[in-house]
Structure 1
């Protein structure tokens, strides 16, 4: 007799970058050089004062259970920091600490969506959105982005066409992964207006809110009528290079924060106690390491964009935020004689060692898409390695012409 599992598991997806990582690791194990542009991890060391705070918390015995909603000191620090940077006011009761940003997606879906309800989400977008909506019995409705002269813009007409009486929420990722798109104020206001008019919950994924090289970020939660219907996804992973520490938070209306706290108690009991004290140090200590990291990433961005735009059949706008490029490779796919994007990625890995995700790793392609894109994450490679890997890829494509 075979092992029986729940039928809903058929709807559970994954973060597809890890599948690409497995293929890259296999190729490396065979003795080949790898340039890992596939995973948005950071090769930046954790700031010393954060390490010291974590070690001190362990030495002080902060290794046991703590409140499910998070230690009061971290909730207060997050309320102050998130509110100040977004021009809004939050109290500690608005904050629920979680084990990274992903649980905020899961618990948001569980809290606001019943089976059969519809939730709108960006596509291309972080694949966990679609996975969690479908896993919990909802109808995942994808909205697309349209290429413009400066990057990408949400297809607002399509968003409007997707709204029905069954729509309960929209997931909105400003400073977007994988395409690095940032909303204009007009686009942000349009999404907010639709949320208010149709009484929708909004999950505002702000993982990259402060990962930017120019300009200042604006949260949709700061717009009129939005604070009471918006859940902000906050994570320490990107800004503070704490990806493995698994620390994040939901900043939400108080009634929903109480629900999240109960979910935490059911799911994890609490977020790791001593890691939360490291989070306090990250928020309240010197921000110089953050600025230093952004300068390093800026140099990597510029190097990657320079080579991509010098490669036949590839082009990309220079993004002002995140640490991803989403170049159009339509002509490059044809130049090397690849059958499709998957074949292009496999050839690139085997011919040049450059490993990357494609557009198809970020949601099912939508009808009418006629361009091919890949995602290059430059956060885990030095500028020298970026130039080495992408130059090799450029030469491969040039030789195929």
Structure 2
């Protein structure tokens, strides 16, 4: 008998391009290929020692059972205290949901607020998972383009035009993946003014809040406090604490929505991993100094990557203000090399130079590629040297 069909929602689901490329790079390296990968969105350093020790201690103490679906109270208290101390935000522990990574909090947020065919406005370039999450929740992503000429910042007029009676949520990501743009308070205020009086949720993905190099990170609920009662702030431990594989995130916002996230978790993952939550408490209480050291490390690598990329022909870029990516405009190189889009360029770069970059197609920007500098400096500079050699061949032969 033929295999029964899969559901339409998964047949139409695109896999994560970044995770797929990371897996490909790992596979090639395991086969002995001299691959340099700019794909990974994770720090290359290890998790801080106090965090590791806290997890081991929790295991030895038998903290291996189910916890409340929304997380243990000590961690919710620590998150509320952290958001107040670092960013001036006032949340009670009951306003905090602990999730299996920030990604899971985002996914459940869309499930919690969207009815079928309701719209979510998001800005391109966008993180690859946003549109797919919205569709899986039954919603419709409405994409508003931003431009490198304006620093990839949302523009009030285009944003206003995208709102309809079916708009249920707006997704903001600052510091931004993939562009590194940091939204200034003036831009956030303008967006808030447009949303005033509208029955719309704001989902603020601020997972890179600690990794800012130019300007300062301003959380949306602080910039627009009058909309705090309909804003869900998303954060986590993966990027700033080098804890990607631990899968620990959080959401903070209106209590009714937070309870909905708790209920969704109770019927899916049950709860975040118990001993990982105790590690999260240690991260916030004992390892904040490591966050600043990591930020300084990335700032140094950022400067060296930008200096090296300035010598590569056929590319353009704007210095990123935050996160740990450079979003490279390769449109001159596409034209010179006869490539149809960044996907074709990325395939040729991998074949010829064994360099992995993430094509911008999955970010809604097919003439760009994303390079991560969350990697070793020597490997990073070697990869850019190979990219430069590739670009020179294409430009000179054009």
Q: TM-score range by the shorter chain?
A: over 0.9
SS in 2 for 1:241: coil
Deviation at 1:275, TM superposition (A): 0.5
The residue number in structure 2 matching 1:127 is 128
- 1:363-374 mapped onto 2 (5 Å cutoff): 363=364, 372-374=367-369
SS in 2 for 1:237: coil
CA contact (8 A) 2:184 2:218 kept: no
Deviation at 1:176, TM superposition (A): 0.5
Q: Aligned in 2, Cα 1:30/1:97: closer, same or farther, shift over 3 Å?
A: closer
Is residue 44 from structure 1 mapped to residue 45 from structure 2 by the alignment? yes
CA contact (8 A) 1:14 1:127 kept: no
For structure 1, the 5+ residue unaligned runs are 366-370
CA contact (8 A) 2:210 2:295 kept: no
Is residue 387 from structure 1 mapped to residue 381 from structure 2 by the alignment? yes
User: Runs in 1 of length 4+ with deviation above 6 angstroms?
Assistant: none
Q: Aligned in 2, Cα 1:356/1:278: closer, same or farther, shift over 3 Å?
A: same
TM-score, normalised to structure 2's length? 0.94
CA contact (8 A) 2:182 2:215 kept: no
Cα distance per residue 1:190-242 (max 9 Å; x no partner): 11122223221010000001112243210111123121010011110001000
Cα distance per residue 1:60-104 (max 9 Å; x no partner): 100011111111100011011113322221100000100001111
SS in 1 for 2:4: coil
Task: Output the CA distance in 2 between the equivalents of 1:332 and 1:27.
Answer: 26
The residue number in structure 2 matching 1:178 is 178
The residue number in structure 1 matching 2:20 is 19
Cα distance per residue 1:158-202 (max 9 Å; x no partner): 221111111111011111001111112221111112222322101
Is residue 113 from structure 1 mapped to residue 107 from structure 2 by the alignment? no
TM-score, normalised to structure 1's length? 0.94
SS in 2 for 1:170: strand
Moved more, 55-64 or 297-306: 297-306
Moved more, 349-358 or 29-38: 29-38
Deviation at 1:7, TM superposition (A): 2.1
Moved more, 84-93 or 49-58: 84-93
- 1:153-168 mapped onto 2 (5 Å cutoff): 153-168=153-168
The residue number in structure 1 matching 2:64 is 63
Q: Aligned in 2, Cα 1:127/1:347: closer, same or farther, shift over 3 Å?
A: same
Is residue 210 from structure 1 mapped to residue 210 from structure 2 by the alignment? yes
Task: Output the CA distance in 2 between the equivalents of 1:382 and 1:137.
Answer: 40
Task: Output the CA distance in 1 between the equivalents of 2:31 and 2:340.
Answer: 25
CA contact (8 A) 1:146 1:155 kept: no
The residue number in structure 2 matching 1:289 is 290
SS in 2 for 1:327: strand
Moved more, 281-290 or 112-121: 281-290
For structure 2, the 5+ residue unaligned runs are none
Cα distance per residue 1:94-123 (max 9 Å; x no partner): 001000011111111111110021111222
Task: Output the CA distance in 1 between the equivalents of 2:160 and 2:22.
Answer: 37
State the superposition RMSD in angstroms.
Answer: 1.7
The residue number in structure 1 matching 2:342 is 341
CA contact (8 A) 1:308 1:327 kept: no
CA contact (8 A) 1:100 1:248 kept: yes
